[in-house]
Chain A
Amino acid sequence: DTGVSQDPRHKITKRGQNVTFRCDPISEHNRLYWYRQTLGQGPEFLTYFQNEAQLEKSRLLSDRFSAERPKGSFSTLEIQRTEQGDSAMYLCASSRGTSGGVGYEQYFGPGTRLTVT
């Protein structure tokens, strides 16, 4: 399978704990995105990497959220001191670089479902 993979698929944690999620993009894609999706809503953009550079992080929900892509391949999303409101599906997507107006097609992974108790 050469699609986007995410690990774990499900995470249950107690309020106040830290959690980290991993995303492995499609191998030839240099762009990686994180989204959050709550029940009944469409995905909400969080942050974006081109190779290892994080070009947009202002939409991360608070300073408790951070993301890395140290070698321009896989990425991690960490949430510190989790709160019940952090319960959601966290989605990762990847895409090629753009060329001639195309390349904005983002391919999503299966997501990580976080439940904070």
Chain B
Amino acid sequence: GQQLNQSPQSMFIQEGEDVSMNCTSSSIFNTWLWYKQDPGEGPVLLIALYKAGELTSNGRLTAQFGITRKDSFLNISASIPSDVGIYFCAGYFAGGTSYGKLTFGQGTILTVHP
């Protein structure tokens, strides 16, 4: 089945630094989504990507849909303490019996030191 490998597993950075994380898949996706999850809460949607090569920004966040359709990247610029949390990539393949199923990566735990 489809699997997503997300890296790094964790990051410890200083406030103000930029952050990059990525997600790779063994198969192609039609849609890539990036979520942030705080402890004890559900994932919050950050960015959605629909086309290979697409680059989309949401404030200090920028994400890209890889041209091979098997990867995606998320960058956070000028990190602040409230960026702390777990970031998940998720892919959707519009075919077969996927029926809306999102496949999630394992998450990147981000810690920001003031």
Contacts and interface: CB of A to CB of B under 8 A. Distances in A.
A14 B105 CA distance: 31
A107 B102 CA distance: 12
Given A56-B97, A104-B92, A110 B45 contact: no
A42 B107 contact: yes
Interface in B49-92: 50, 88, 90, 92
B100 A111 contact: no
Contact of A110 (B4, B41, B48, B101): B41
A75 interface: no
B40 interface: yes
B43 interface: yes
A67 interface: no
B94 A104 contact: yes
Nearest to A112: B42
Contact of B99 (A55, A108, A113): A55
A58 to B, nearest CB: 8
A117 to B, nearest CB: 19
A56 B100 contact: yes
Given A45-B101, A56-B99, A56-B100, A107 B106 contact: no
22 contacts: A33-B101, A40-B107, A41-B104, A42-B88, A42-B105, A42-B107, A48-B101, A55-B99, A55-B100, A56-B100, A102-B50, A104-B33, A104-B48, A104-B100, A104-B102, A105-B33, A106-B45, A108-B35, A108-B45, A110-B40, A110-B41, A111-B41
